[in-house]
Structure 1
Amino acid sequence: MFDDVSSSSLRVAAAGLAARQTAIANNIANIETPGYRARKVEFEQALHGAIAKGESPSSVSPSVQDSLEPTRLNGSNVNLDEETLSHIDTTMRYQLTLRAMDTKYSMLRDAIKGA
Structure 2
Amino acid sequence: MKLFSRTFNMLEQGLDYASLKQKVIANNIANVDTPNYKAKDVQFKTALEQAMAPLEAYRTDPRHFSFKGNPSNFLVTTRSDVVYNHNGNSVDIDKEMSDLAENQIYYNALVERLNGQFNTLKTVIKGGK
CA distance in 1, matches of 2:22, 2:51: 24
Paired residues of 2:47 and 2:74 also in contact (CA < 8 A): no
Decide whether aligned partners of structure 1 residues 73 and 13 sit closer, same or farther in structure 2, where only a CA change above 3 A counts: same
Residue 111, structure 1, aligned to residue 112, structure 2: no
Question: What is the Cα deviation at residue 49 of structure 1?
Answer: 3.3
TM-score, length basis structure 2: 0.76
Question: Does structure 2 retain, via aligned residues, the 8 Å contact 1:9–1:47?
Answer: no
State percent identity of aligned pairs.
23
Q: Which amino acid aligns with 1:5?
A: R
Unmatched segments (≥5 aa) in structure 2: 56-69
Counterpart for residue 96 of structure 1: 109
State the AA in 2 paired with 1:28.
I
Which protein has the larger Cα radius of gyration, Structure 1 or Structure 2?
2
Root mean square deviation of aligned Cα = 1.9
Tell me what 1:56 maps to.
Answer: 54
How many residues are paired up?
111
Q: Name 1:66's counterpart in structure 2.
A: 78
Deviations 1:13-66 (A, max 9, x none): 001001101111110110000111111012x323443565xx228345421110
